[in-house]
Amino acid sequence: MIYTGLGVGLSVAVGPVRRMAHTVHEPDAGPSALSREVELERAKRALDAVAAELEHRAQRAGGPAAEVLSAQVLMVRDPDVWDEIEASISEGLSSERAAFLAFRGMAELLKSLGGTQAERAADLEDIGWRTVANLTGVPYGVIPVADEPFVLVADDLSPADTAVLDLDQVVALVTSGGSPTAHTAILARARGLTAVVSAPGVLDIPDDTVVVVDAAAGTVDSEPTSARIAEAKAAQIAVEDDSPASPGRLSDGTAIPLLANIGSVSDAREATAKGAEGVGLLRTEFLFLDAAEAPSVETQAAEYTEIVAALEGRKVTARTLDAGADKPLAFLDLGHEDNPALGVRGIRTGRKDEKLLKDQLEALARTQAADVGELWVMAPMISDAAEAEWFVSLAREAGLKTVGVMIEVPSCAVVAEQVYEVVDFVSIGTNDLTQYTMAADRQNGAVAAYQDAWHPAVLRLIGMVGKAATASKKPLSVCGEAASDPVLALVLVGLGVTSLSMTPKALRDVRATLARFSSDEVRELAAAALAASTAEGAREAVRAALPRPLR
């Protein structure tokens, strides 16, 4: 039987089914036998434990998963949730019933809003179940264990579980619920996991049934022929093949270099193994965030040099310190900020402590002088051309040769033609550009649904930067999460983006997708997206306009 859903990525996987059971049940609605004070303390301890577990998983997972799970921690600690829990306990309900009602109520509110807002409701429901599980002593989120790799089938899987799946065990993820834009699907893509979501009926597939999961087709075949199984296994072997990958390019030969986002030497080695043509984003803050004091110029230079050398001559684009807001520094007192996302962060920390920025630029210049590879440098959170010129002047004084900026603030996109007059290149951070365009804090789970780079408003800003890049004949890269989506990558290139930087595991699918379409075709797809009025409308319009299948 063929079950149809929505695929995440383009890969194929085959394996026996293992279903994930839901072990937590809705708490009893009767009155509590405990006092109000005891129940409040139980609820507080449970919420603290859930938040701590999510924080631990965020640290283990890193990358996009860390951002998603950090946002969930804020959901756990939402004062409105606590007010609801406290009110229910004051009415005589148990802490588990109170927590269940509070998170379910918030989830129902998001569902009522529809669209991508409704997709984030699953995150709240998951937190509610985790809290109930903690209070009742029942295990939650237990992934099956088997002697061979398997296909995990579930009603839905939380981001917290997706982020720590053992990919030596789980070859594919299939859910009856969810959507391709929900956090679980986003993390599956970031981890290179074959997935089909929103596939009704898959929970009826018995354990041990061998299935073929085809993400490109969005299908799960529970009765595959031997020939289909052999074909799927061959495709899996091809994915695991470490032979050199061809450069990124469109079907007409237009080069679109495919780069990787990294934050360590190990990331650099993985990027090389996955066929990255270079690094479009080296997150340098890994040296700063856990430090009690600013790292020395010597320490920074040694670390940067090791990473650039690991790329074996490929270009590396280093982003200067992006701290503040959700990434505070122990040694830099930014003071209290009511809205840190709109406060001192990115390049603004360098303006607050210019020595911190100058030291980093000197360290990067030493790496450049070591001549172990090609080094470009860019600054985050630039607001306009004047700020871009200020940074470029400091970088030039330090001796850096190729200097650019990140466009993440809408004001900078609007004046992109002025920015290109003073820089060598531009990179767009779609995560923050979306946040600021949609006025939706990335760390606020209640508005997470607005964080969708498919929105035509975001795409139009990218298009403005693309036109400025074309006119200036200078490079334009995207290093946000949007670059990892193979279909959205087509739109970005159609808008004038000349290279894409992403999680290394997304490189294969994006490379294969770009190779199927020409320059004229991607421009037509971009036009279809811009003509839509919503993110979902843009996504649907582009898929409907595809002149041929993705694979």
Q: Is 439 exposed, middle or buried (0-12, 13-18, 19+ CB in 10 A)?
A: exposed
**Euclidean distance between CA atoms 412 and 414, whole angstroms:** 5
State residue 191's pLDDT score: 80
User: pLDDT of 247-300, one tens digit each?
Assistant: 999 999 999 999 999 999 999 999 998 899 999 999 998 888 777 788 999 999
Q: Per-residue confidence at 531, pLDDT binned at 50, 70, 90?
A: very high
Q: What is the CATH number of domain 258-518?
A: 3.20.20.60
State residue 78's pLDDT score: 87
Point out the residues that are catalytic: 183, 479
Q: Which pTM value belongs to this model?
A: 0.73
User: pLDDT of 139-186, one tens digit each?
Assistant: 876 788 788 999 999 887 777 777 778 888 999 999 888 766 666 777
Q: Give the architecture-level CATH label for domain 2-22+142-228+236-240.
A: 3-Layer(bba) Sandwich (3.50)
More reliable by pLDDT, 220 or 232 = 220
**Euclidean distance between CA atoms 542 and 493, whole angstroms:** 13
Q: Per-residue confidence at 241, pLDDT binned at 50, 70, 90?
A: low
Q: Is the pLDDT of residue 16 over 90?
A: yes
Contacts of 263 (CB under 8 A, 6+ apart): 62, 282, 283, 285, 286
Q: Which two tokens stand for residue 231?
A: 């074909």
Domain ranges of the chain: 2-22+142-228+236-240, 36-136, 258-518
Q: With b meaning 16 or more CB within 10 Å and e meaning fewer, what string describes 442-471?
A: bbbbbbbbbbbbbbbebbebbbbbbebbee
Q: Per-residue confidence at 331, pLDDT binned at 50, 70, 90?
A: low
* Strand-strand pairing, 219-221 and 210-214: antiparallel
φ, ψ (nearest 5 deg) of residue 93: -80, 160
Please state the rounded mean pLDDT for residues 426-443: 89
More reliable by pLDDT, 343 or 169 = 169
Q: Which two tokens stand for residue 101?
A: 């009602």
Asked whether this chain's domains 2-22+142-228+236-240 and 36-136 adopt the same fold, the reply is no
Q: What is the CATH number of domain 36-136?
A: 1.10.274.10
Q: Is 196 within 8 Å of 7 (Cβ atoms)?
A: yes
